Structure 1
């Protein structure tokens, strides 16, 4: 019985590796649009999306992926060189990481079908009660995978700076029911009225 199991293991392992290799998108160069509002210091965008960065590149910014580095996706965003850093989501394969942030359809097209108050909240990088998960991503970017490993989680954890964290809480239907932060000033900065 033990010998039979040992004989099966290499095939099972090979099958699992093949599945893993085919399941993750390859690290390829492609064009698309920025999925979400992302903050840049002028040449660097971190997946944690801290508020301290100089400016926001809005969801729907045209993106051309030009290559990859160590935990980096090299891009031209609206013709400007930007490195997209996988600083806190290293559990995500770099090909999948690139496909998260550079999407094939302009998110502004989907946003136009949202209520005006949601459109305004996304453009202001704020969260509004009743937003869908997709709208929160457009507004805030992805929660970092090291702290929110599943996008099906009821609570997504975000950081505004090194010491400022807030949580977006979804109900069973997948819409925002609360935004929580220990600091009321932080909560006011990230929540749309």
Structure 2
């Protein structure tokens, strides 16, 4: 009886992993500008020293899941997209946020020049749509932004540099709240 109970417990414990593993997205494109520190891309997307931006629309091939991470290959290099601050999300849902089937670069190419420049420089600007903000600076972390329909999205450039994107009634950026130093790095005027 103990052996059956243990086997049943192991099967039940493995079910969430199996469901997550089955939800690995197909090869696609990076949803948004994300910063890597070599082989690690954190969902908080800090702009710290030694990181480089991988542009929205870069081809991505998911290869598996690890503990709170999606293993991918980008530009021939293994990377992990770390779910450091959005752990409320199922890993399949998390993976699909970052690996999208349609190339954002095609949409970006059709945007006004100033918006394209903001996205390419990983900055936000007044008048951007929610989708354009996501392409420029990634998803806001769910631990602080559980509702993507909220009026304010809270972002971090570093542990001490916060900026808040405030959307107006038309769901466009009405203002960005930040200290002057952070504003200079995160906002295009």
TM-score normalised to the size of structure 2? 0.87
Aligned to 2:152: 155
1:175 equivalent in alignment to 2:172: yes
Structure 1 residues 174, 26: CA separation in 2 closer, same or farther (over 3 Å shift)?
farther
Aligned to 1:83: 80
Is residue 33–residue 61 contact of structure 1 (8 Å, CA) maintained in 2? Answer: yes
Is residue 25–residue 92 contact of structure 2 (8 Å, CA) maintained in 1? Answer: no
Structure 1 residues 110, 154: CA separation in 2 closer, same or farther (over 3 Å shift)?
same
Q: What is the SS of the residue equivalent to 1:59?
A: coil
Q: CA deviation at 1:121?
A: 0.4
Q: What is the SS of the residue equivalent to 1:192?
A: coil
Which sections of structure 1, spanning at least 5 residues, go unmatched?
A: 1-23
Q: What is the SS of the residue equivalent to 1:73?
A: strand
Deviations 1:133-171 (A, max 9, x none): 000000000000010101100000000001111100000
CA distance in 1, matches of 2:106, 2:25: 23
Kindly tell me the number of residue pairs found equivalent between the two proteins: 169
Which sections of structure 2, spanning at least 5 residues, go unmatched?
A: 1-19
TM-score normalised to the size of structure 1? 0.85
Say which of 115, 140, 152 aligns to 2:112.
115
Q: What is the SS of the residue equivalent to 1:161?
A: coil
Aligned to 2:139: 142
Deviations 1:23-61 (A, max 9, x none): x99432520000000000010000000001520000001
Say which of 93, 96, 101 aligns to 1:96.
93
Say which of 169, 177, 181 aligns to 1:185.
181
1:65 equivalent in alignment to 2:62: yes
Q: What is the SS of the residue equivalent to 1:135?
A: helix
4+ residue runs of structure 1 moved beyond 3 angstroms?
Answer: none
CA RMSD of aligned residues (A): 1.3
CA distance in 2, matches of 1:188, 1:72: 31
